[in-house]
Chains A and B, each alone.
Chain A
Amino acid sequence: MRVIAVVGSGIAGDEAALAARKTDPKARVVMITRDPYPLYSACVLANYVSGEIPRERVFLRTPDDYTRDGIEILMSRQVVDWHPDRHVLCLDDEGELSYDRLIIATGSRPFIPPLPGVEKEGVVTLKTLRDADIMRDVQGKSAVVVGSGPIGIETAVALHRRGWSVSLVELLDRILPRLFDIPLASSLQERLESRGIQVFLREKVLEILGEERVSGVRTDQRTIPADLVILVIGMRPDLELAKKGELVLGVSGGIQVDEHMRTNRTDVWACGDCVESQDMVTGRKGLFMLWNNARIQGRVAGANAAGDTKRYPGSLNLTSVSFFGEACASVGLLSSDLSPTEAQVIHRKGLRREFWLVLQDNRIVGAQALGHTERVGGLVGLILRGEDLRKTIIKGSTRSERRRIWPLRGLRRDLLRLSNFQ
């Protein structure tokens, strides 16, 4: 009987195991994970930290689900070594597993900067359910969140909801620096500040203060007292296993895979946060660690490991974040990614909503929205096709044309006003 082994039980590994099972009903599908529990969603950990949802709602599967689906799962089990030539995985209980096909879905780990004092008690991160449990157990009242990506913002808001006083420290010139240009990032910052979350931009954390327990952080500008410090400055692919098998990495540092999610080794596929992929919209290669990408990559890798020939269409990097009752979303390039002479921008600001469109050579290359985020999804197709809007907007008067460009309604005049449209 053919053995298909999957390392990792995150969404990528989970989808891969299910897809392999479906594609080859006769194979033995074995999933190995160092997690002590079945699949859960990292995306809602902040909702659990805040108390909006109970702990059990974080889980997406029970151990019985795997039995029902015919997947063997080995939990609390780490793969410590790998012999690709012999097709063997070595486990931490000294057991071995021989496989015919292998799927690496080892995900990512938070990057913890080598700051003086990071080892102190009360310095945490948010990646796993364990991290969230720890955060919920800590006693105290003031927290410093270092890093203002989506996870940093969600964590700050979650702790604020629980009654903590929260400060957010960001090295760059705005919050959510990879998602929004400065005007929209400033609006979001005001939203945080109006609720009492302090935001410090362009500040570098130099040291974590305290004895055994953390008592605060020192930045290049000030000292901020804190009972809890959350370091959420980014994720890195978990490559421990990949390196043992000498998998080739891409320029961005993720595992290099082809369009079938195959690695450079025969009989080895990879998927999820640990791989490098191509952004569907910008065409750039990179690490696009999103739930939807991990899920689809998992499906492709799992099916192909079991004999199919599915293709991964590229990563769809539309990021949607919501806090304090409002949603915001971003896709594609920011105007700050382009030179000032290249970028054209349309900015619409209403009472509770804001819309920002980035154009280059009369083509939409990015979109950002606060509130009414549905327009952002509607623009992905237009960005992908790279259409010259001069044609589309002026000549496109048929209904089906209009349907295609529905998110641009109400923007015709702004588009025409941009000098190049005349």
Chain B
Amino acid sequence: MARIMVVDHELCTGCRICEIVCSVKKEGASDPSRSRIHIVTWDMEGIYLPMLCQHCEEPLCAMVCPVNAIHRDKSLDRVIVDEELCVGCRGCVSICPLGGVGFDINERRVFRCDLCDGDPTCVKYCEAGAIQYIDIDQVQVSRWRTTARRLAAAV
């Protein structure tokens, strides 16, 4: 059964542990700017929004990729970038409606959530339970992704 990352914005407390554990896991250093998940904050209102790649069904990032480097990996039902092909143009960074793709200035490469190969670290550390990795049947998957796509407000 497919599993999917689901974010419940109401539950996020803005502790930002996810950004830390993600960057430690992926980059070997606590550096939120290189985390695959980002908490967008509206400080005055006390609103915290975890944002990450939604692994869309028809991803805009794959449409703009000039070297066809962005694919769907069916085994984990995720969108991945072939780093051998990527030229670092950042078209995918600019087009994503949800800020789901980051760029590492030093390494000169794009990065995004890869679901930690099926065992997402952020989920394990999220005390509030705002990020979950859950089994979901296909109908729901497509509904969820349609929502993401509507948010994309294109295609």
Q: Which residue numbers of A lie inside 8 Å of B, CB to CB?
A: 41, 43-44, 47, 52-53, 57, 60, 280, 290-292, 295-296, 313, 316, 318, 320, 322, 325, 327, 329, 369, 373-378, 380-381, 384-385, 397, 399-400, 402-404, 406-407, 409, 412
A57 and B83 CA atoms in complex are apart in Å by 12
Q: Which residues does chain B contribute within 8 Å of A384, judged by CB atoms?
A: 153-154
A378 touches B103 (CB 8 A): no
List 5 A-B pairs, minimum CB-CB distance, nearest first: A43-B66, A381-B153, A320-B94, A329-B94, A373-B94
Q: How far is the CA of A23 from the CA of B68 in the complex (A)?
A: 21
Hey, which chain A residues are within 8 Å of B51, CB to CB? 406
Q: Is B87 an interface residue (CB 8 A)?
A: yes
List the B side residues contacting A43 at CB < 8 Å.
Answer: 66-67, 89
In the bound complex, CA of A325 to CA of B155 (Å): 30
Question: Does B94 lie within 8 Å of A399, measured CB to CB?
Answer: no
A385 touches B153 (CB 8 A): yes
Give Cα A47–Cα B155 distance, bound, in whole angstroms. 29
Q: Is the CB of A60 within 8 A of B94?
A: no
Q: Could you tell me the distance between the alpha carbons of A295 and B91 in the complex, rounded to whole angstroms?
A: 14
Within 8 A of A (CB), among B39-95: 40-42, 44-45, 47, 49, 51, 60, 63-64, 66-68, 85, 87-91, 93-95
Which of A47, A320, A400, A412 meets B90, CB within 8 Å?
A: A320
| Complex-state Cα separation, A409 to B45, whole angstroms | 11
Cβ-defined contact, B101 with A374, below 8 A: yes
In the bound complex, residues from chain A placing their C-beta under 8 Å from that of B103 are 327
Q: Does A381 contact B63, Cβ atoms closer than 8 Å? A: no
Would you call B126 an interface residue if the criterion is a C-beta within 8 Å of the partner chain's C-beta atoms? no
Q: Which residue of B lies closest to A45 (CB)?
A: B66
Task: Let me know if A403 and B49 touch, CB within 8 A.
Answer: yes
Chain A minimum-CB-distance residue to B150: A381
Decide: B95 and A320 in contact? CB cutoff 8 A.
Answer: yes
Judge whether B87 and A44 touch: CB under 8 Å: yes
Give the most central of B40, B108, B151: most A CB within 10 Å.
Answer: B40
Contact A291–B64 (Cβ < 8 Å) = yes
Which of A291, A292, A316, A397 is in CB contact (< 8 Å) with B45? A397
Report yes or no: A41 in contact with B93, Cβ–Cβ below 8 A. Answer: no
A403/B9 in contact, CB under 8 A: yes
> A327 to B64, alpha carbons, bound, how many Å?
15
CA distance A131 to B99 in the complex (A): 35
CA distance A227 to B95 in the complex (A): 38
Knowing that A292-B63, A403-B9 touch, tell me 14 more A-B residue pairs with CB under 8 angstroms.
A44-B87, A291-B64, A296-B63, A320-B64, A320-B91, A369-B94, A374-B96, A374-B101, A381-B153, A384-B154, A397-B47, A399-B10, A403-B40, A412-B42
> What per-residue 1/0 map shows which CB atoms of B106-124 lie under 8 Å from chain A?
0010000000000000000
Q: Are A409 and B94 in contact, CB atoms less than 8 angstroms apart?
A: no
Give every chain A residue within 8 A of B41 (Cβ-Cβ). Answer: 409
Measured between alpha carbons, how far is A374 from B64 in the docked complex, in Å?
14
A373-B90, A378-B98, A378-B99 known; A409 vs B40 contact (CB < 8 Å):
yes
- Report how far A400 CA is from B150 CA in the complex, Å: 14
Would you call B94 and A376 a contact (CB within 8 A)? yes
Given known contacts A313-B154, A374-B94, A378-B99, is B68 in contact with A60 (CB within 8 Å)? Answer: yes
